[in-house]
Amino acid sequence: MRKVLSLLVTGLVATMLMPVASAAPTAAQVQKQVNELRDEAAGKYEAANGIKYQISKLQRELNGLKAGEAAANAKTLSLKKEISKMAVENYKNGGLGNGLELLLSRDPAKYLSDAAMLDVLAQRYATKLRQLNTYKQGLQSSQLVVTDRANQLKAAQIKLNKQVASANAALAKAEKLLASLKAEDRKKLENADKAEQDRILAESKRLAALFSGGSTKGAIALKFAFQQLGDIYVWGGAGPTKWDCSGLTMRSFQRAGVSLPHFAAAQFRYGKNVPREALAPGDLVFFGRPISHVAIYMGKGKMIQAPRAGKRVEIVNFVRSFGYKPFVGAKRL
């Protein structure tokens, strides 16, 4: 009896210690994870826009420095030639020394006049030497700055590559999750997503048609954005048929005569602050800490945006948070 009980206990313990197979996630759970990963990728891509913005600034600065360096080099070469020529002239006009030359001169008055001219030439020679020294010192400083900016540019490019790789990895993970589903479940999700996208697009076009318009910069920007409804989201997209969030707002306000950078956080530095309760059509609304999304408020609690991979330009409800990104402020241009 004891032996039987011992065997039963041993079997029970072994069963309890066996690993329990976790249930495969449902299609709905997979879709939720995919949406979260795509939102994450969109935030990372917008951060990459920020690095591209910094690279652009560094490149312009570097180009300006190199142009200045080239001009300084040309001026230095010109000064060297002038100084060499003046040195030869001074040597030719040298001679026995001022006192002896005055004593032996047949025309002391003329000599004194010539000597005064030599003093002037000597002063010019000294001035040119000082100018040359100044340009040489400037060149040395400029070369140090050029090297520093070139190193910053190289580091920024490496950072950009890493940021884009991280965003791409999030999208790849999302695709892998979708691929893990059974073919029939994946097809159901695709059909449901398409139906939802079509519904949102139809509603977006209906809302856009109701917009009363106006001639303000914001109204002009909105009218341009409405024309892009249904276009797909692509990182770095700034038209004509592919957009990311800051690319859409940049081009929309460009149509209204306002120049904005292709980076949401940089766009937040433009215009004047608008409290949430005073929002008006055409105001830019920003989300995320740090800022990683921007849209255009169109009034009546709606906004138009290019949201993320897998979605299209759409009109949606303006809410206190866009996914995991909280509303952080609005600007009127």
The identity of residue 163, as a single letter, is Q
In degrees, to the nearest 5, what angle opens at C-alpha 328 toward C-alphas 313 and 213?
45
Q: What is the pLDDT of residue 27?
A: 86
Asked whether the predicted pLDDT for residue 121 surpasses 70, the reply is no
- More confident site: 135 or 232: 232
The Cα–Cα gap between 190 and 176 comes to 15
Q: Which one has a higher pLDDT value, 136 or 49? A: 49
pLDDT greater than 50 at residue 266: yes
Q: Give the pLDDT band of residue 139 (cuts 50, 70, 90).
A: confident
Look at 139 and 119; give whichever has higher pLDDT: 139
The model's pLDDT over 63-74, given as tens digits with 9 standing for 90+, comes to 988 888 788 788
What's the pLDDT score for residue 100?
41
The model's confidence at residue 9, banded by pLDDT at 50, 70 and 90, is: very low
Note the pLDDT tens digit of each residue in 249-262. 999 999 999 999 99
139-172 burial, b at 16+ Cβ within 10 Å, e below that, comes to: beebeeebeebeeebeebeeebeebbeebeebbe
64 conformational bin, left if phi > 0, alpha if psi -120 to 50, beta if neither:
alpha
pLDDT digits (tens, 9 = 90+) for 168-201: 999 999 999 999 999 999 999 999 999 999 999 9
Q: 195-200: long-range contacts (C-beta < 8 A, 24 or more apart)? A: 197/311, 197/312, 200/312, 200/314, 200/315, 200/316
> Can you tell me the mean pLDDT for 257-274?
97
More confident residue, 299 or 86: 299
pLDDT at 128 over 70: no
Average pLDDT over residues 297-306: 96
Options 1.20.1530, 1.10.287, 3.40.50, 2.40.128; CATH of 27-178:
1.10.287
Please count the helices (runs of H) and the strands (runs of E) in the chain: 8, 9
Q: Are 298 and 211 in contact (CB under 8 A)?
A: yes
| CATH topology (fold) of 183-332 | endopeptidase fold (from Nostoc punctiforme) (3.90.1720)
Whether 149 has a pLDDT exceeding 80, the answer reads yes
pLDDT above 90 for 79: no
96 pLDDT tier (thresholds 50, 70, 90)? very low
Q: How much is the average pLDDT of 155-164? A: 94
Q: pLDDT > 70: what percent of the chain?
A: 80
Domains of the chain by residue range: 27-178, 183-332
Residues 241 and 233: their CA atoms lie apart, in Å, by: 9
Average pLDDT of 301-313?
Answer: 95
Q: Is the pLDDT of residue 6 over 70?
A: no
Cis peptide before 326 (omega within 30 of 0): no
Identify the residue with better confidence: 122 or 130: 130
The pLDDT value recorded for residue 105 is 47
- Per-residue pLDDT, 71: 83
Q: How would residue 97 be classed by pLDDT, with cut points 50, 70 and 90?
A: very low
Would you place residue 94 in the very low, low, confident or very high pLDDT band (cuts 50, 70, 90)?
Answer: low
Q: Which residue has the higher pLDDT, 177 or 81?
A: 177
Q: Which of 120-124, 229-233, 277-281, 285-289 has the lowest mean pLDDT?
A: 120-124
pLDDT at 93: 60
